[in-house]
């Protein structure tokens, strides 16, 4: 601390006061947690029903044997990719304005990657045999690759959230005397006697840099491998060579939307208006447009090229999407969740926090439904006709129990995000204090736009 200038200390005083204010266990936090946990309990009861009666309580049957759970899994893996996009891709090329949002992106990555692993267990017919994956695992199976890279990505994201947090925890433990003593204990334990020494910062920076580089191939791997769960099968609709990049580009869309939703929430609820400024929303809106355009491009390739040829089974699948039973969903997703946001966000007035937040909600919901469209319809029309089976086997409808179990996973994500953002500083205190005249800078940059 002694090595830092007086000005830095002044800035640190005001910033830490602003940013550490919401870090507390207040009535709102407790009430919110009670609501989340009771909702989780109800939803987990639905899972116990599934455990007792088997997967027959879902809408899944022999033909559409992967449904909402797998779609939700793909969506979770996709959304978790935003951690890599913001911290690594933008961070390593030296983009400065991501400083206050990088940690939010990591929190999203941690929560979604962690729960993705649980979601896949809810889809298993024999969850009790999960250890078999490690005991009898076969390296040929993409499931093995997925398990490996998702856990790796989760650990890297956790470290990438935690390392830059260490100096902030050192600040928090001295500046939050009125917080519960166990919280201060946790800060003290996790800050590893940090002394804000120049040398410490140097080592930390190096470590973070290594993580930032390592996490790029890992993040690409998790979603590419997830896409291969489908692309390695000889099914019309999944049998595609661009599924890897198609999934990755889609992941950036849903992840960025999730980030914007979280940013808006923290800006309003934690009163971070002067830290998550209009400037930041303006910038992240541009990122959303960019990744959406890339995703639109992959959509064109994925649907237009087979639609031009109309090979027998591709044609059956595409007709279902374009004009068949899935048409309202398909066009709704493509227009409301992709094309319209791109067009709207070209206008500067829309790139303000509130309209951007609303658009992101639509993009986020559409991203979830898009995974459903990717997973479910290709199974309804296999190469050989579906015959002599009960009528309800022909069309997949998720059951309330299935929806409740899926809801449980979303609640779990919210619980993790709440814990990480309410008990620990959600914006980087020390990092922001390093920036001279941080608030003035941001105002200036907005004027330049």
Partner 1 sequence: MSENKKKNSDSSEIEKIVESSRREFIKKAGISGAAIISGAAAIYAGYRHEKAKHPKDTIKVLTQDNRLVEIPVDQVKDYKPGVKVFQTRGREGLKGKKWVMVIDLAKCRNARKCISACQSAHHLRPYEYHMNTLVMQESVNTPAYFMPKPCQHCDNPPCVSVCPVDATFKRQDGIVLIDNERCIGCRFCMAACPYSARMFHWQEPLNANADKGKVYNIELNVPQKRGTISKCLFSADRLRDNILPYCVSACPNGVYYFGDENEDAVTNGTTKETVSLKELLKKNGAYRLMSELGTKPRVYYLPPKNRLFEFEETGQEKNDKTI
| Residues of this chain that bind partner 1 (CB under 8 A) | 53-56, 58, 60-63, 65-66, 123-126, 129-130, 132-133, 135-138, 140-144, 229-230, 232-235, 238, 316, 379, 381-390, 394
Contact 72, 409 (CB under 8 A): yes
Residue 166 has, within 13 A of its CA and on its CB side, a CA count of 20
Residue 132 or residue 322: which is nearer to partner 1 going by CB?
A: 132
Residue 65 or residue 418: which is nearer to partner 1 going by CB?
A: 65
Residues 6+ apart with CB under 8 A from 446: 277, 278, 279, 282
How far apart CA 190 and CA 405 sit, in angstroms, is 34
Q: How far is the CB of 221 from partner 1 (least distance, A)?
A: 17
Residues 6+ apart with CB under 8 A from 71: 368, 371, 372, 374, 375, 376
Q: Give kind and range of the element (H or E) at residue 413.
A: helix 400-422
Dig out the tokens for 117 from the structure. Answer: 């692993």
Dig out the tokens for 445 from the structure. Answer: 């940059």
Q: How far is the CB of 119 from partner 1 (least distance, A)?
A: 13
Residues 6+ apart with CB under 8 A from 372: 68, 71, 329
Which has the closest alpha carbon to 253: 338, 139, 178? 338
Dig out the tokens for 293 from the structure. Answer: 């355009």
How far apart CA 421 and CA 415 sit, in angstroms, is 10
Q: How far is the CB of 412 from partner 1 (least distance, A)?
A: 21
Residue 135 or residue 448: which is nearer to partner 1 going by CB?
A: 135
Residue 8 or residue 63: which is nearer to partner 1 going by CB?
A: 63
124 — phi, psi (to 5°)? -75, 140
Residue 123 or residue 302: which is nearer to partner 1 going by CB?
A: 123
Q: How far is the CB of 78 from partner 1 (least distance, A)?
A: 19
Residue 63 or residue 298: which is nearer to partner 1 going by CB?
A: 63
Residue 299 CA, chain-centre distance (Å), reads 21
Residue 237 or residue 428: which is nearer to partner 1 going by CB?
A: 237
How far apart CA 107 and CA 22 sit, in angstroms, is 16
Q: How far is the CB of 278 from partner 1 (least distance, A)?
A: 46
Residue 93 or residue 139: which is nearer to partner 1 going by CB?
A: 139
Q: How far is the CB of 25 from partner 1 (least distance, A)?
A: 40
Q: How far is the CB of 116 from partner 1 (least distance, A)?
A: 15
Which has the closest alpha carbon to 229: 395, 374, 386? 374
Residue 112 or residue 230: which is nearer to partner 1 going by CB?
A: 230
Q: How far is the CB of 370 from partner 1 (least distance, A)?
A: 19
> Given CA atoms 118, 124, 128, 132 in this order, what sign does their dihedral have?
negative
Dig out the tokens for 296 from the structure. Answer: 């639109």
Q: How far is the CB of 147 from partner 1 (least distance, A)?
A: 8
Tokens 């909600």 belong to which residue?
361
């Amino acid at each position: 601390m002694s090595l830092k200038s007086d000005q830095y200390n002044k800035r640190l005083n005001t910033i830490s006061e602003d940013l550490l204010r919401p870090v507390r266990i207040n009535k709102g936090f407790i009430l919110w947690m009670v609501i989340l946990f009771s909702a989780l309990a109800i939803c987990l009861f639905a899972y116990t029903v599934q455990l007792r009666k088997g997967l027959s309580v879902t809408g899944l049957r022999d033909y559409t044997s992967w449904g909402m759970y797998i779609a939700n899994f793909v969506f979770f893996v996709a959304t978790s990719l935003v951690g890599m996009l913001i911290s690594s891709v933008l961070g390593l090329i030296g983009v400065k304005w991501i400083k206050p949002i990088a940690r939010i992106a990591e929190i999203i990555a941690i929560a979604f990657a962690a729960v993705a692993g649980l979601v896949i267990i809810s889809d298993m017919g024999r969850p009790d045999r999960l250890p078999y994956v490690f005991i009898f695992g076969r390296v040929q199976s993409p499931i093995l690759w997925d398990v490996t890279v998702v856990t790796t990505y989760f650990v890297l994201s956790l470290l990438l959230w935690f390392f830059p947090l260490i100096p902030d925890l050192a600040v928090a433990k001295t500046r939050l005397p009125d917080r519960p003593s166990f919280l201060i204990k946790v800060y003290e334990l996790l800050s590893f006697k940090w002394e804000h020494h120049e040398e410490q910062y140097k080592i930390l920076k190096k470590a973070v840099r290594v993580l930032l580089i390592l996490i790029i191939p890992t993040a690409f791997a998790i979603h590419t491998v997830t896409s291969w769960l489908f692309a390695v099968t000889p099914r019309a609709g999944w049998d595609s060579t661009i599924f890897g990049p198609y999934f990755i580009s889609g992941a950036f869309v849903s992840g960025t939307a999730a980030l914007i939703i979280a940013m808006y929430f923290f800006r309003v609820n934690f009163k971070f208006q002067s830290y998550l400024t209009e400037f930041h929303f303006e910038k992240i809106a541009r990122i959303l447009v960019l990744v959406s355009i890339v995703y639109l491009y992959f959509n064109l390739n994925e649907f237009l090229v087979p639609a031009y040829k109309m090979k027998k089974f591709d044609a059956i699948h595409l007709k279902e999407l374009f004009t068949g039973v899935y048409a309202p969903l398909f066009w709704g997703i493509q227009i409301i969740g992709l094309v319209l946001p791109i067009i709207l966000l070209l206008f500067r007035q829309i790139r303000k926090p509130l309209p951007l937040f609303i658009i992101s909600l639509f993009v986020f919901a559409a991203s979830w439904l898009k995974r459903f469209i990717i997973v479910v319809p290709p199974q309804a029309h296999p190469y050989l006709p579906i015959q002599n089976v009960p009528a309800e086997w022909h069309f997949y409808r998720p059951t309330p129990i299935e929806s409740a179990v899926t809801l449980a996973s979303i609640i779990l994500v919210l619980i993790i995000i709440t814990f990480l953002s309410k008990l620990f500083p959600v914006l980087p205190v020390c990092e922001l204090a390093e920036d001279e005249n941080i608030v003035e800078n941001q105002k200036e940059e907005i004027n330049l736009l």
